[in-house]
Amino acid sequence: MSTDLKEIYDIADRWAEIRLYSDEDAQAKLEGEELEAYTRYHTKVKGDIERAQELALMMAKAVEIPAPDKKSKTQRKKDKWARKQAVAAANAAAER
């Protein structure tokens, strides 16, 4: 294995270890470039997670169709009477 490839594998192994740290552990254990990379990565990941949660909420709202309130028995009777009156008025107008 070449030295460049070994160096890449060493960096990948180190990053696999680092990215699992909590924020407090990272502040205590990391310095310099590793700390900057960690904070940059986790800031992006947290932003992506928040965005995904917002999208999920928006999708859930779009899927849930609000059901109309049911009419009471009295309201149904009033609507039926109004339809009868409308039909009677239309028939009377047609006969003229």
Token pair 């028995």 is found at 73
Domain ranges of the chain: 3-70
Residues 41, 61: Cα–Cα separation, whole Å: 30
Cα angle value 39/43/44 (rounded, 5°):
120
Q: Is the pTM of this model over 0.75?
A: no
Average pLDDT over residues 63-81: 91
| CA-wise closest residue to 37 among 17, 57, 51 | 17
pLDDT band at 34 (very low <50, low <70, confident <90, very high): confident
Span 75-89, pLDDT tens digits: 999 999 999 999 999
Q: Is 88 helix (H, G, I), strand (E, B) or coil?
A: helix
pLDDT at 32 over 80: yes
Average pLDDT over residues 40-59: 94
Higher pLDDT, 50 or 37: 50
In the prediction, which pLDDT does 63 show? Answer: 87
